[in-house]
Structure 1
Amino acid sequence: MKGRKKKPLPSYIGDEEFLSIMKFVPKQHHRLAFILGYSSGLRVSEVVNLKKEDIDLKSKRIFIKEAKGGKDRVVPLPKRFPASYLKLLPLKCGARALQMKFRLSVKKAGIKREDLHFHSLRHSFAVRCMEKGIPLNQIQVMLGHESISTTSVYLKINPKDALDNYEKLW
C-alpha cells in the first residue's frame, strides 16, 4: 500500500553532547553561532543576519527581524551571554560555512550521528523547553511557528512529559 512517507522525528542533542561538540569549536564566532542555535532556538539564517542592535542585554532578549515567513519575533538571550560576544556581530561567515563547521565539530567530538546538523540545535532548544515544562504555545511563539501542529512534533520526541502529566490526573 502506497502512502505518505513517514517523516523522521527532529534530531536533537542533550547538554553533554553539546558541551562535547563545543570543545572542538575554537573560533569565537562559531561558538556564538552554536550557542544561539542551542540556547535560543535560532535558525542558521537568523544567526547569520543578527546584528548588535538586535540584542538587548538588559532585558535578555533577541529581536529577530523578518524571520522565516517575513515575521518578527522575540526570543530569550542565553542567561550567561557574555557582552564581549556583541563585538562578533554581524558574523563574518555564511550559513553554509556554519553548517559545515557544525558537522565537522560533531565528527571531531566523536559523535557518530549522521542525523545531526545545525538545525538540530534549534530542535534541541525546543526539546529542552518542553523538558522544563514550558507550554507548547509559548514554544511555538519562540520558534516562530505559524501552526501549533508544527511545534507539536516535539511531543513525539519526549512523550515522558505527557505521560507524567497524565499521572497527575490520578
Structure 2
Amino acid sequence: MRSKRYSESTISTYSEALKSFLFFYREKPVVEINNEDVIIYNNGYILKNKLSASYQNQIVNAIKLFFKTVRGTKIEVDKIHRPKRAKLLPNVLSKEEVKLILNAHSNIKHKTMLSLIYSCGLRRSELLNLKPADIDSKRGIVIIRQSKGKKDRIAPLSPKILEMLREYYMGYKPKTWLFEGVNPGEPYSEKSLQSVLKQALQKVSITKPVSLHWLRHSFATHLLESGTDLRYIQELLGHNSSKTNEIYTHVSTKSLQQIKSPFDDL
C-alpha cells in the first residue's frame, strides 16, 4: 500500500479491517477462504454486532485489495458485494453559529485554526499539514498540498484571515509547520485540535455534536447559498466528482425560503 502511495491513515484502517476478517477465520488457511466465507462473516460478525455500512465498506475494500495481491485463492474479488450506503445529509451550521464558534476563543492560535478551516473549507489533516510558505499573501491564496487523493489545490485567502495569520505568526513564530504543538518543529496534534473545537462549543453553549468537518460542510453550503457555482465549490473542496457536491443543494435553505407553504393561504 505504501508503494502505491496510500495514506498512513488508510493503511491503518485497511489493516485493522483485514485483521478482523482474518482473525474470524483464524482456523482456516487463507487459500481456502471463499466468497461464501465473506457472506458468513458479514452475517455472523458485522450484522450481528450492528456495525455501520461504512465499516462494512472498509472491510470490503481491505478484502478486495488483499485478495487481488494474494494469488491461488478461492476468492472471486469481483463478486464481493458492497452494502447500500445510507444517504445522509451533511451537518451544517448557520452563519450565526459559525460566528459564535470562531469568536469563542481569545487565544489567537486557537481562533486562527478554526477560522482557517471554515474560511477555506479545509479537512482537519489539511490544516495540520500546512506550512508557513503555503500562505501566499501576494497572490491571495492558500496552497493545500498533497491532500486526499494526492492532489494539490488552492483556496482563496480571506483578507480577514490574512490579518489573523499575521498576528498569530508574530506571536508564535512557527518554524516548520504553520501550527505547531508544544515542541517547536512538531505539527499540532489532531486530538488537540478537536479539543480546541470542544472548548469553543462549551464556551458558547452549543450542545450539537459538532465536529471539525461540520465547518467544512458549512463553508460549502454557505457558498452555495451566496450564489457560488457548484463547479467552483467542487474545486475548492478538492472533490473528484460533481455528484459529491450535490448533497449541499439538499441542505441549502436559500431556495426553500422562497417557497411559500400552502398552509399560509389557509
Specify which of 105, 118, 124 is matched with residue 200 of structure 2.
105
Match of 1:90 in 2: 178
Q: Note the 1:17-166 alignment, pairs <5 A.
A: 17-80=97-160, 81-82=162-163, 83-86=166-169, 87-88=173-174, 89-92=177-180, 93-114=188-209, 116-158=210-252, 160-161=254-255
Q: Secondary structure at the match of 2:101?
A: helix
TM-score scaled to structure 1, two decimals? 0.85
Distance, in Å, in 2 between the alignment partners of 1:7 and 1:100 is 29
User: How many residues are treated as equivalent by the alignment?
Assistant: 161
Distance, in Å, in 2 between the alignment partners of 1:103 and 1:10 is 19
Cα RMSD between the aligned structures?
A: 2.0
- Residue 66 (structure 1) shift: 0.1
User: Residue by residue, what CA displacement relative to the aligned partner does 1:108-164 show, whole Å, maximum 9, x if unpaired?
Assistant: 2111212x1011111111011101111001100000001111111101101543886
- Residue 18 (structure 1) shift: 1.9
Preserved contact between residue 155 and residue 162 of structure 1 (Cα < 8 Å): no
Question: Which stretch shows the higher mean deviation, 16-25 or 63-72?
Answer: 16-25
Distance, in Å, in 2 between the alignment partners of 1:113 and 1:141 is 29
Distance, in Å, in 2 between the alignment partners of 1:85 and 1:143 is 25
> Which structure 1 residue ranges, 5 or more long, are not aligned?
165-170
Distance, in Å, in 1 between the alignment partners of 2:229 and 2:149 is 23
> Which structure 2 residue ranges, 5 or more long, are not aligned?
1-82, 181-187, 259-266
Which of structures 1 and 2 has the bigger CA Rg? 2
Preserved contact between residue 126 and residue 144 of structure 2 (Cα < 8 Å): yes
TM-score scaled to structure 2, two decimals? 0.56
Preserved contact between residue 11 and residue 120 of structure 1 (Cα < 8 Å): yes
Higher-RCO chain (CA-CA 8 Å, sequence separation at least 6): 1
Preserved contact between residue 92 and residue 251 of structure 2 (Cα < 8 Å): no
Distance, in Å, in 2 between the alignment partners of 1:142 and 1:155 is 16
- Aligned amino acid, residue 105 of structure 2: V
Distance, in Å, in 2 between the alignment partners of 1:150 and 1:5 is 14
- Residue 101 (structure 1) shift: 1.7
Distance, in Å, in 2 between the alignment partners of 1:162 and 1:14 is 15
Distance, in Å, in 2 between the alignment partners of 1:111 and 1:119 is 16
Q: Secondary structure at the match of 1:152?
A: helix
- Aligned amino acid, residue 113 of structure 1: K
Preserved contact between residue 225 and residue 254 of structure 2 (Cα < 8 Å): no
- Aligned amino acid, residue 149 of structure 2: G
Match of 1:10 in 2: 90
Q: Secondary structure at the match of 1:74?
A: strand
Question: Which stretch shows the higher mean deviation, 81-90 or 144-153?
Answer: 81-90
- Residue 5 (structure 1) shift: 5.2
Distance, in Å, in 1 between the alignment partners of 2:243 and 2:102 is 32
Q: Percent identity?
A: 34
- Residue 19 (structure 1) shift: 2.2
Preserved contact between residue 103 and residue 111 of structure 2 (Cα < 8 Å): no
